[in-house]
Amino acid sequence: MMRPLNRTILIALLLAGCGGSGMTTSTGPNGETIVGNEVSVQITGAANEQVAFGLAQRYCRKTDRAARFVSMAGSTSAYDCVKAPA
């Protein structure tokens, strides 16, 4: 069984590999950690799934994309930033 820290590191590495470069790190309004690039984002420490999704949506909208849930491990949620439907 994979430990929570190992899962978080694995998700971060997978997200880093998805976009290649341009990873940014920021902090949400309640101390959440937001790590992403133009095609994916990872939210850690959100109060619940709805808050995490809202932060992911706001992040993805910066590049005219929409958040799509990928996975959750412990307190970390991963999302793809997909092209928004026209």
Domain boundaries defined on the chain = 4-83
To the question of pTM greater than 0.75 for the whole model, the response is no
Q: Over the stretch 39-80, which tens digit does the pLDDT of each residue have?
A: 999 999 999 999 999 999 999 999 999 999 999 999 999 999
The pairs formed by 52-60 with CB atoms below 8 angstroms and a separation of 24 or more are: 52/77, 53/77, 53/79, 55/28, 56/81, 59/34
Higher pLDDT, 79 or 1: 79
Higher pLDDT, 27 or 42: 42
